[in-house]
Every structure is written in structure tokens, then in C-alpha cells.
Amino acid sequence: FRLDLYYRVAVVSLRVPALRERPDDIPMLIEHFLATDHDVDDMRSVFSHEALRSAQAHDWPGNVRELRNFVAGTVVLGSPPATSAVDASTAEGVAVLLDRPFREAKADLVTDFERRYLEHALRRADGNMRQAARDSKMNRSYLMELLRRHGLR
């Protein structure tokens, strides 16, 4: 590490508080990520008031990058990620997953993801199976099998 380079670059030192210290910034950041990354103008069309409150209560150890990934996951899945029996966005949810056998935890996460993905694909295609399969780049018969497996058709 070259100290001389550090002092050349470190002309101004700024302290930016962690995201957990400024929960009031979270709605503004979510709105920004939705608009710039996903072309969504109305935050309420993606995030319910409860989801927004939950996001503000979360610690965000990964700071803004974690929040941005959370927003992307919410847009893709159609609802905030991991709001099922095991809420992976909380430390308790992660601990619960980590305490379970690998295959069991993985199976539950995959099942939850599949169900959410299928629900989102069907909503996006207005219930049209052929269009949902095409948009998802999967065989229509496989889509039908997954829908039956998850009790969606």
C-alpha cells in the first residue's frame, strides 16, 4: 500500500452513515432504483406500505448494494423476496435456513422461488400459458408440469 498515493487521492474525507442509520432515505432510494434500473415510475405498484415499512426496519448490512438487489428481486418475483415461512431478508430467517440440512433448506428455497416465478410469469402474460412459457424460455409442457406441482393450475 502506497501511502503517498493515498494522500494524493484523499483530498476530502466524507463520512456517509450506514443505511441502517438513515431509514428515511430508503423509500427515496427504492424509488430511484425502480426508476433507473427497472423503468417503474410508481413505487406503490411494486411495494406495499407494509413492504416499505419492513424495508425501513431492516438493518441492511450490505448497505445500498443489498437494497438495490432487494429491489431487483422484488421486481422480478412480483413481491418482496423471501416473505414466506422463512424470511431470508432477516437475520433470524438466515439463521433458520442455516440450521437446517442443506438439501432441505435448498429445496424450500427452490420451491418458493419456482412458485413466485410462475405467479409472476402468469401475471405478466395475463394468464396466457403459451406466452408465459415463451417469455420464460421454457417448454410449455414443463411450465404446465410446474404449475400443477405448485397447485397453480
Domain extents in the chain = 3-149
Mean pLDDT for the chain overall: 83
Quick: pLDDT tens for 39-60: 888 888 888 888 888 888 888 8
Question: Which one is predicted more confidently, 76 or 69?
Answer: 69
Q: What confidence score (pLDDT) does residue 96 get?
A: 62
**Which pLDDT score, from 0 to 100, does residue 86 have?**
38
In this prediction, residues 14-42 reach a mean pLDDT of: 91
Q: Could you give the C-alpha distances from 115 to 7, 36, 132, in angstroms and in order?
A: 53, 27, 14
Provide mean pLDDT across the span 98-111: 82
Mean pLDDT is highest, among 23-32, 86-95, 96-105, 106-115, for 23-32
Residues 6+ apart with CB under 8 A from 116: 77, 78, 79, 81
In this prediction, residue 85 has a pLDDT band, given cuts at 50, 70 and 90, of very low
Count CA within 13 A, CB hemisphere, residue 80: 21
User: Residue 76's pLDDT band (boundaries 50, 70, 90)?
Assistant: confident
Angle at 61 (CA atoms; ends 53, 77), nearest 5 degrees: 55
Higher-pLDDT residue of 84 and 105 is 105
